[in-house]
Each structure stands twice: as C-alpha cells, then as structure tokens.
Amino acid sequence: MPEETAASPKIKTRKPKQRACDEKDEKGKLCNGHLKRYYDYPKEVAALIGQNAEIYRCEFCKTLYRPDPAQQPQSYTLRN
C-alpha cells in the first residue's frame, strides 16, 4: 500500500558518519543519493522541524534527514 502524501515529507535521522541516502526503492535498490544541507525548506517542513533547523535532503529521492544526534554538542554515545 503506497503512502504518498506530499503534505507529510519523510524525515529520517542520519546515522553516524552517514553521507549517502540509505532509502531503497520498490525494487530494493539502494538510493545512495548525496545528502545535502537543505536551507530553503517549505513551510510544511518548517512545521515539523522548526525554522532555521539543521536538515539535509537526499538529492535523488528527496528524503529529509535530521542531523545525527551523536554529532550534536553534549551528546551521549549511541550504540546499536
């Protein structure tokens, strides 16, 4: 069942040192798009993350990525 609603963009969180998108398409192929800092985001996104937030966007599939919490100041170590 596809979920494609333009009003609610997909937002993921970057893994430590992650530079490329890890989304997969319907065939299971890795997107691997470059994550670029996204400055001029629309208000739908601002409603989710706030104004002037640090956010990245995949150049291919446009998935949004929040910064890795482990790279924030005063962070704790996250292990999986």
Q: Which residues bind Zn ion (CB under 5 A)?
A: 21, 23, 31, 33, 58, 60-61
Token pair recorded at residue 30: 């890795």
Query: How much of the chain is helix, strand and coil, in % rounded to 5?
Result: 10, 20, 70
Least Cα distance to 68 among 35, 45, 25, 41 occurs for 35
Closest residue to Zn ion in the complex (CB)? 21
Instruction: Decide whether 30 or 75 has the Cβ nearer to Zn ion.
Output: 30
Q: How far is the CB of 76 from Zn ion (least distance, A)?
A: 28
Instruction: Decide whether 31 or 49 has the Cβ nearer to Zn ion.
Output: 31
